[in-house]
Structure 1
Amino acid sequence: MKVAAIQMVSGISLDANLSEALRLLRLAAGAGAELAVLPEYFCFMGQKDEDKLVIAETPGLGTVQDFLSDAARDLKLCIVGGTLPMATDDPGHAANASLTYNAKGTQISRYDKIHLFRYDNGREHYDEAAVLQAGDTPTTFDLRSRDGHEWRVGQSVCYDLRFAELYRVLAADVLLVPAAFTYTTGSAHWEVLLRARAIENQAYVIASAQGGLHENGRRTWGHSMVIDPWGEVLAMQSAGPGVVLAELDIQHLQGVREQLPSLQHRKL
């Protein structure tokens, strides 16, 4: 199954971001991808965190949800919509939600980011909990590839990557990590964490990132990549918008798990 990790440098214009996302999705579909994963905040990187609340959508109703559904149907492509802000019962907080649409344009999953990022090194300060409401439900969906294989796909978002226990619960064949890692934390930890999650879960990892200098002054690390169950990086793009393509091989996945059955050896 060919997959695509979409890398973007999203800005403050929703329309411009969606236009760019569609351009990249068309490239992925044209290259034969069956699954495309957009990055965290693909649709919007506001001037300040509170701007997310202005564009937060309700389930089944909204510009971004319509965009994802239409693009998936028109391109005949399963699309994971990175994340978008979704309204909650608290008007001061939104959910950071990752929505998946199948090739018919039907929503098949929603995952709300469980772990909310907080970081302060004296120069950079982030606290997602100020405007985001954490989710609490590990989420997977099943995807049948064109060759008839059934893949279990586990969802996560960005900061979730640091919490290995989530991925154990997912017990998936493919792990998704749409992200907007900061340049500081990404340069230190992004690749090593992704490869660790692939190795310890003997799963493919599709990591789609924001990668560049944004209009709001934030700089993200990028380095979108696809990693195999042995921890090998199959394809990667360091910075700037682009499409990272790779083939997922079910026989390779099964072979790794049979040769080194570490998942069967777990005691805890």
Structure 2
Amino acid sequence: MEHLHVAMVQTALVWEDPKANRDLLASKMEQLEGEVDLIILPEMFTTGFTMDPGSIPADEGQRTLDWMQEQAKKYRAGILGSTVFIGENNRHFNRLFFVGPDGEQEQYDKRHTFTLAGEDKEYEAGKKRLLFEFRGFRICPMICYDLRFPVWSRNTEDYDLLIYVANWPAPRIGAWDALLKARAIENMSYCLGVNRLGSDQNGHEYTGHSAAYDCLGNTIVFSQEEAILQVVLSQQHLNLNREKLQFLKDRDHFNIQR
């Protein structure tokens, strides 16, 4: 496909209440207008950024995954976002799922757990990056704190779209803005960031700043309001600029160790 129609859902979340958040987001998505290929939800969209995953019933991760599959079929679109997921041996993950309308499914566990909040003590860190193709676009999704680590995000495999889902708080929102734009420029890729709004049980404030940038760092859309931001990404725009500027051909080659 030449174009990818993306909807980014920027909203407040209900603290540690998966059903309430699923109902809230289902209601929000009913407001979608026109053609949509991919719907992006924030990080931990069923709970907020909780450091008490044990308080979430073990079956809620699967319930959320089932709900994502239902929504994907309903809208004939891909759904992407992260949630608290409890795996084997009661291991906790901040796990991002992509679910397609035909039942396809991908997952990514957050690589860089946020030590400042103690996420590294409550959640298992991921070990593998995810790259998948959907409707003609190669997509690399990541989660919040991953944004601060450009080596992990580096476009070594010619992806077209880099996505960050987040609960990024207001005091450091300037870093969010700057780094999203930087990731787009350095990777010659579209870069989308979907953040939440409101406040959480720990008193953290979130001001959104969900945004989409093209491969030159130009702002396509930006908002601090409760909204569904809809953008159309162009494969032709991406290819023309890559062919003209050739920056990715000069990239460094390296191996990641941690």
What TM-score do you get using the length of structure 1 for normalisation? Answer: 0.86
Matched, 1:249 2:249: no
How much has 1:35 moved relative to structure 2?
0.6
Matched, 1:112 2:116: no
Deviations 1:127-176 (A, max 9, x none): 111211101000011111xxxxx110001000000111122245310011
> Structure 2: 5+ residue runs without aligned partners?
254-258
Match of 2:128?
137
Match of 1:163?
149
Letter of the structure 1 residue corresponding to residue 86 of structure 2: A
How far apart in 1 are the matches of 2:201 and 2:126?
A: 28
Match of 2:77?
77
Match of 1:17?
21
Letter of the structure 2 residue corresponding to residue 31 of structure 1: G
How far apart in 1 are the matches of 2:58 and 2:8?
A: 24
Matched, 1:68 2:68: yes
How much has 1:64 moved relative to structure 2?
0.6
Deviations 1:19-39 (A, max 9, x none): 1211222323x3322111100
Alignment of 1:86-125 (within 5 A): 86-91=85-90, 93-104=91-102, 106-119=103-116
Match of 1:147?
none
Letter of the structure 2 residue corresponding to residue 88 of structure 1: G
Contact 1:161/1:194 (8 A) holds in 2: yes
Letter of the structure 2 residue corresponding to residue 181 of structure 1: W
How much has 1:215 moved relative to structure 2?
4.7
Match of 2:214?
228
**Pick aligned residue for 1:258 from 239, 243, 248:** 243
How much has 1:118 moved relative to structure 2?
2.2
How much has 1:90 moved relative to structure 2?
4.6
What is the CA RMSD across the aligned residues, in angstroms? 1.9
How much has 1:221 moved relative to structure 2?
3.4
How far apart in 2 are the matches of 1:251 and 1:11?
A: 40
How much has 1:62 moved relative to structure 2?
2.2
Instruction: Work out the number of aligned pairs and report it.
Output: 248
> Structure 1: 5+ residue runs without aligned partners?
120-125, 145-149
How far apart in 2 are the matches of 1:235 and 1:16?
A: 28
Distance 1:211 1:141, change over 3 A: same
Query: How many percent identity over aligned positions?
Result: 26
Letter of the structure 2 residue corresponding to residue 70 of structure 1: E
How much has 1:95 moved relative to structure 2?
0.7
How much has 1:107 moved relative to structure 2?
3.9
How much has 1:217 moved relative to structure 2?
2.6
How far apart in 1 are the matches of 2:58 and 2:249?
A: 42
Match of 1:49?
51
Q: Secondary structure at the match of 1:111?
A: strand
How much has 1:57 moved relative to structure 2?
4.3
Contact 1:183/1:219 (8 A) holds in 2: yes
Contact 1:95/1:132 (8 A) holds in 2: yes
Letter of the structure 1 residue corresponding to residue 51 of structure 2: D
Letter of the structure 2 residue corresponding to residue 160 of structure 1: D
Match of 1:214?
200
How far apart in 2 are the matches of 1:170 and 1:220?
A: 33
Contact 2:168/2:195 (8 A) holds in 1: yes
Matched, 1:191 2:177: yes
